[in-house]
Amino acid sequence: MTTTLFTDLACAQHQPPEGHPERPARLEAVWQALNGPAFAGLDRRKPREASDDAFALVHPPAYVEAIVNAAPNTGLVQIDGDTFMSPGSLAAARKATGAVLDAVDLVMTAGGTNAFCAVRPPGHHAEPNRPMGFCLFNSIAIAARYAQQEFGVERVAVVDFDVHHGNGTQAAFWDEPNLFYASTHQMPLYPGTGAASERGANGQNICNAPLRPGAGSAPFRAAIEQTILPAVRRFRPDLVLVSAGFDAHARDPLANLTLQTEDFGWVTRQLMDVAHECCDGRLASVLEGGYDLQALGDSVVAHVSELMSQAG
Ligand SMILES: [Zn+2]
């Protein structure tokens, strides 16, 4: 009957080069924001480290091996245009994915519980065969497959309100009618995918609601209410996972969707309503983007407060 926070110091040891937006200070801002008395009731846990076999639920073994082997002992390795590995990156990535696996274990076995994973590196841009956009392994896609394999869950929905389209999750789910991916995101913007016409191999398991730059709260809420939520309800998930990126906030330097802090509380409440309706409130959320530290902290407060009020 509670909300669990999975996080780990190791996730701050993934250190891209100086000046990179996806920096350890993001996690410190989240920890600081969740430090107040309002969050005394959070059940705080350290996650497991995901194994190579867990990564291989989405990524081919050769890819897993290549990323594991790329991890440097000193200095930095660049593995994509804007994706780097430092000596702490692999341990951080194992904890990041492990957190979402632990969150699935928890919400599948403990009634009335939801979870937020405050972890990095993020994951939704990582395609099965390609690291991208600050992401090494696609934690949320891995967790969806894990839920199917470990708990016999049939249908898993991922809803992604990060300002960027989660091309990696979409690619992983494209051919799988029992895995559903829905996203609101700014378009045009990195990575360029996410048109409304991209609907998955069966035409029904991918739902994209792109928004124009500067769109703001009203079009965002309309997209959630009129496009995303009806599609999730039609899919009837047994488990809802959330790619919680907070870079659609007006203060964020990487995009300009101009959402307000309250929008993140609002969307969280909508998603919990759907989870209660479809699957006894089984919902786990994982941090993706969010690059203005003040906006990130405030938005996480709005998100987690709503999770806590909806647990049970
Ligand atoms: Zn993003």
Please tell me whether the overall predicted TM-score, pTM, comes out greater than 0.85 for this model: yes
Angle between helices 89-109 and 61-70 (to 10 degrees): 130
Q: Which of helix, strand or coil describes residue 306?
A: helix
- Spatial separation of the C-alpha atoms in residues 285 and 99, rounded to whole Å: 10
What's the pLDDT at 1? Answer: 61
274-290: buried (b, 16+ CB within 10 Å) or exposed (e) per residue?
bbeebbebbbbbbbbbb
Distance between Cα 163 and ligand 1 center (Å): 5
Cα of 193 from ligand 1 centre, angstroms? 13
Give the distance (Å) from ligand 1 centre to CA of residue 170: 15
In the chain, where does DSSP find H-type helix?
24-33, 52-55, 61-70, 89-109, 139-151, 167-173, 217-223, 229-235, 261-279, 293-310
pLDDT of residue 32: 98
Encode pLDDT of 95-135 as tens digits.
999 999 999 999 999 988 999 999 999 999 999 999 999 99
* Residue 175 tokens, joined: 């051919």
The residues pairing with 242 across neighbouring beta strands, listed in sequence order, are: 159, 285
Report pLDDT for 111.
82
Phi/psi at 179 (5° precision): -115, 125
Distance 110 CA to ligand 1 centre (A): 30
Q: DSSP code of 286?
A: E
How do strand 156-160 and strand 77-80 relate by DSSP bridges? Answer: unpaired
Q: What pLDDT is stored for residue 308 in this prediction? A: 97
User: Would you call 125 a catalytic residue per the annotation?
Assistant: yes
| Cβ atoms of residues 268 and 290 within 8 Å | no
Q: 142-176: buried (b, 16+ CB within 10 Å) or exposed (e) per residue? A: bbbbbbbeebebebbbbbbbbbbbbbbbbbbbbeb
Can you give the pLDDT at residue 310? 84
Spatial contact of 100 and 115, defined as CB atoms under 8 Å apart: no
pLDDT for position 311: 76
Q: What are the C-alpha distances in Å from 198 to residues 131, 142, 222, 257, 299?
A: 21, 21, 20, 21, 29
Note the pLDDT of residue 144: 98
DSSP string, 190-255: TT----TT---TTSSSEEEEEE-TT--HHHHHHHIIIIIHHHHHHH--SEEEEEE--TTBTT-TT-
State whether CATH 3.40.50.620 applies to domain 3-310: no
Pairing of strands 179-186, 206-211: parallel
Q: How far apart are CA 89 and CA 68, in angstroms?
A: 10
Residue 305 exposure: Cα atoms within 13 Å on the Cβ side: 17
Q: Is 232 exposed, middle or buried (0-12, 13-18, 19+ CB in 10 A)?
A: buried
Choosing from 14, 59, 125, 185, which is the catalytic residue? 125
Q: What is the H or E stretch that residue 43 is in?
A: strand 43-45
- The alpha carbon torsion through 23, 25, 26, 30 (nearest 10 deg) reads 160
Distance of CA 293 from the midpoint of ligand 1 (Å):
14
Question: For residue 87, is the peptide bond before it cis, meaning its omega torsion is within 30 degrees of 0?
Answer: no
What's CA 114's distance to the chain center, in Å?
14
- pLDDT at residue 71, as a whole number: 96
Which parts of the chain have pLDDT scores under 50? none
Give residue limits of the domains in the chain.
3-310
